[in-house]
Structure 1
Amino acid sequence: MAKRLIPTLNRVLVQKIVPPAKTTAGILLPEKSTKLNSGKVVAVGPGTHDKAGNLIPVAVKEGDTVLLPEYGGTQVKLDDKEYHLFRDEDILGTLHE
């Protein structure tokens, strides 16, 4: 049975995207050119409440590709896959093609 983690409050579960180390033609890429700290949003929490009790929803949704900070997040391992848990405000932005 596969486990599913539903984040609480304003947390976001992200699976980091590992860029390829070489091209399809077999050319090795330098590590510096492949380093974009991004990930795919797997699950989001419902959001957090402000002092007045109003719900502030999470800014990203499942399936978004996001830019992550270089450091931070909590590493989580589920069913032999590695994920990271970030707070909504720690995510730097969304990436679009």
Structure 2
Amino acid sequence: MAVKPLGSRVLIKVREAKTKTDSGLYIPDTAQEKTQTGEVVAVGEDKEIVVKAGQHVMYDKYAGCSVKIGDAEHLIVKNDDLIAIVD
């Protein structure tokens, strides 16, 4: 299924939550926090959007509409809900 966001919206592939700490301990599902970063998959046609496909971004915690495409979790967020570009 191909999804193309409209207007000033951005389609983001959500980064998977960490299931293991750096020291090797496993984090239970109930203790995992929702990630707030992901990779831009597609952007709408609004000229004010500053991100491009392939960039990694940070977005507001409660932003967007959740969409499952294939096996991956995605979000459709407004351009205003993007906080930063992550290098």
TM-score (norm 2): 0.79
Q: Which residue of 2 aligns with 1:50?
A: none
Task: Tell me the C-alpha RMSD between the 2 structures.
Answer: 2.4
* Superposition misfits of 4+ residues, deviation over 4 angstroms: 29-32
- Of structures 1 and 2, the larger Rg is shown by 1
Give the total of aligned pairs: 85
Counterpart of 2:38 in structure 1 is 39
For residue 78 of structure 1, the aligned residue among 45, 66, 69 is 69
Per the TM alignment, residue 75 of structure 1 is displaced from its structure 2 partner at its CA by: 1.1
The more displaced of 22-31 and 79-88 is 22-31
Q: How does 1:10-49 map to 2 (within 5 A)?
A: 10-23=8-21, 26-28=24-26, 36-47=35-46
User: Share of identical aligned residues, percent?
Assistant: 31
Give the strand-richer structure, 1 or 2. 2
Extract unaligned runs of 5+ from structure 1: 48-55
**TM-score, scaled to structure 1:** 0.72
What 5-or-longer segments of structure 2 have no aligned partner?
Answer: none
